[in-house]
Amino acid sequence: MELHIVHIKEPYGSLAEAEHDMAGIALLAFLFEESSDDYPPLDPIISALGRVQHNGSTTVIPNFQLSDIIPAAKDLHSYFRYVGSMTTPGCEQAVAWTVFHRPLSISSRQPMTDIFRPTQPLDGRVVYRSKASAALPGVTRLWLGVLSAVLGTPCLIH
């Protein structure tokens, strides 16, 4: 499972406006790693997702803060970055992706399933990594595999 936190550039008022600008959207991505224990901070999100049944549906998660589920800033120094596309249809090429090395925890009882799109062509993308990730060769190989699967072709790393 993967978590995307999507930001749009000012002065855009919507994602639809921002996706026409090659630098209009910044996306922070976290992958999840299965653990034996439930991760209770995810429960309000999982519950809320069950209330969103149709395109355009919305819901509110009371008292929710992103800091409840994502790592502290000191743990976010290792990441990959590339310019790519949205993962939802029309897959517009207007996203500066940051994919963090540190996975989040989730149990096998918690994830959502069957929410994905097919792999996409690399289209000449270059994937950059933070200098801090050089100290994590095993994790780097894992993320390269994940990025290759997501993008559909091997990644060029700089």
- For 25-50, the DSSP string reads EEEEEEEEEEESS--GGGHHHHHHHT
Indicate whether 51 belongs to any domain: yes
Dihedrals φ, ψ of 92, to 5°?
Answer: -60, 140
Residue 145 or residue 98, greater confidence: 98
Q: Which of 85, 63, 100 has the alpha carbon at shortest distance from 15?
A: 85
Indicate whether 158 belongs to any domain: no
pLDDT recorded at residue 156: 39
Indicate whether 46 belongs to any domain: yes
Please report, for the domain that includes residue 139, its CATH number.
Answer: 3.10.200.10
Indicate whether 12 belongs to any domain: yes
Q: What is the pTM of this model?
A: 0.71
Indicate whether 107 belongs to any domain: yes
Pairing of strands 95-100, 2-8: unpaired
pLDDT recorded at residue 116: 63
Indicate whether 157 belongs to any domain: no
How many domains, the chain?
A: 1
Mean pLDDT of the chain: 78
Q: What is the DSSP letter of 100?
A: E
Q: What is the mean pLDDT of residues 107-130?
A: 76
- Burial of residue 42 (CB within 10 Å: 0-12, 13-18, 19+) is buried
Task: Quick: pLDDT tens for 18-64.
Answer: 988 888 999 999 998 889 998 888 888 888 888 888 888 889 998 88
Indicate whether 156 belongs to any domain: no
pLDDT recorded at residue 115: 62
pLDDT band at 69 (very low <50, low <70, confident <90, very high): confident
Indicate whether 100 belongs to any domain: yes
Q: Which domain holds residue 58?
A: 2-151
Other Cβ atoms closer than 10 A to 148: 15
Residue 158, pLDDT > 50, answer no
Percentage of the chain modeled with pLDDT above 70: 77
Residue 154 or residue 51, greater confidence: 51
